[in-house]
Amino acid sequence: MPPKSTSAPKGTTTSQSTNPFRSASIDTGAPATPAVPTTPQKARLFPATRCMRQLTYLQITASKGKAPASGGPARNAAMDIDLDDVLSGSETISQSSTPPPNASLLRSTDGLDYTDVKIEERLETGFYNFVIEKVDQLGRGALSNLDVTQDLDWNASSHQFRAKNSKHEAVFYGVGEIKSAQVNAYGTKPEGREINDFTNVRGGLSLQEATGWDAEKLGGAMLVQEQIYNLSKAMERAEGGPAKLKAVAAQAVKDTRYKFLPPCKKSAIDVKGYDILPIVTEFFYTTKPPPAAVDLDVEQSPRKRKAAEASSSSAARLPAVGDQYDATLMTGYNGWDFKFKDAKLVQLDIRDVNGALIQPWDWHLHLTPKTLVSFRARLKRWVVSPSDKNGNTKSTIYQVVAESIRVLAKGEPKTDHNKEDEDADAVVLDENMVYLEDYEVVDPFALPSPSKKAKTA
């Protein structure tokens, strides 16, 4: 179905950039060896004046979580996807405030509404060009637009990726289409293992280039490939350069007691270069009580109080980020593997195509294959020390941890509780796998023995 025609929202602008997008493959050589990418054929360029503003914007969103008051792109100019809620940089899971839904997010300045665009019509209707324009407007705040050498620092003492000349961890925005998702009660955990109050459970999405994406018709843009390229360059920086990264990758092949997991994967062994971008969510469950509300209740007169009560009772309360629910409400919960006593299910910042929060038990209905999503995330590097939990294997693990996710285009519909879908998404227990969330650590980059516990970030 073609996009609906609507009037353009006031005050919005459109990018006129015809800049080429970088298109670079990451060839691993041997399938088992994490690879160091080759130099891209084209570098993505921005007008000089915009480049400075966009770099400033990245620094400020990384340091304060807010767009600049001046000297940077306005909230609605940068992706109104600023990703309104997802790419706004103003609200995160750590904050109690929840922005209102922005139903106009998927409306172009030409008056086209892409809210209900069909999978097979995304290219011909101009939707993919629309997404590219939005990502372009984000400038260096988008993962695909980064120049890692100029925009990011690796801080060895804090083990963090930081925006250049910033003391705070860098945040970036990305886009990809869901290939598979683990968003039921188990998240990325395998079935058949006990999950209790001390188990950290995250959801997982494997993202790929969008269905019907045609780089030749889209100015050479390959958003997921560009994101994977820049993640690999960040990994290269953290490991100490190309030569050291190659050495680490070679060690992982030769040494059975060392694992090296890059922030990208292959969809099949025979695929040349990485083509899958895995991301994980914040934790599904918590034993921490919700933030205490400040009691500012002041008595009204009986007449005013009666009117206020009548008004509030007629309006249902919308869910907010950080809300807590009974864990048994989560899809896939059972009494065999789940042994919770105090843990509550947490409302994460995961939103539908209209910008409304999706409640946890409905995540599996919205985050289906071929769904196009945007995300706001940080790149984490974890070093797991050998222990009896992992067969005395040392691991270096990279994870893209998403603070927020938003649906940009609906994917394949999923029937509620389809058994075949559940079996396909289930995680199989691998005794040799390092399940990072099993570790609760003070220093997440040099994990102590399993007996010493504290929470990961």
Selection from 20-34, 111-125, 217-231, 241-255 with the highest mean pLDDT: 217-231
Contact by Cβ (8 Å): 403, 174: no
Q: What is the pLDDT of residue 28?
A: 30
Inform me whether the pLDDT recorded for 46 exceeds 80. Answer: no
* Closest by Cα among 317, 318, 321, 340 to 330: 340
- Per DSSP, the residues of 210-269 read PTT--GGGGTT--HHHHHHHHHHHHHHHHHTSHHHHHHHHHHHHH-TTEEEE-S-B-SST
The reply to whether the predicted model has a pTM over 0.85 is: no
Look at strands 349-351 and 324-326 and give their pairing.
unpaired
Tokens of 332: 């896939």
Inform me whether the pLDDT recorded for 328 exceeds 90. Answer: yes
Q: What is the mean pLDDT of residues 121-144?
A: 93
Contact by Cβ (8 Å): 229, 277: no
pLDDT digits (tens, 9 = 90+) for 149-168: 889 989 888 888 998 888 88
Inform me whether the pLDDT recorded for 256 exceeds 60. Answer: yes
Q: How confident is the model at residue 47 (pLDDT cuts 50, 70, 90)?
A: very low
Q: What is the mean pLDDT of residues 192-201?
A: 92
Interatomic CA distance for residues 367 and 364, integer angstroms: 5
Strand-pair partners of 120? none
pLDDT digits (tens, 9 = 90+) for 57-69: 333 333 333 333 3
Tokens of 210: 């969008």
Interatomic CA distance for residues 277 and 14, integer angstroms: 28
Interatomic CA distance for residues 81 and 69, integer angstroms: 18
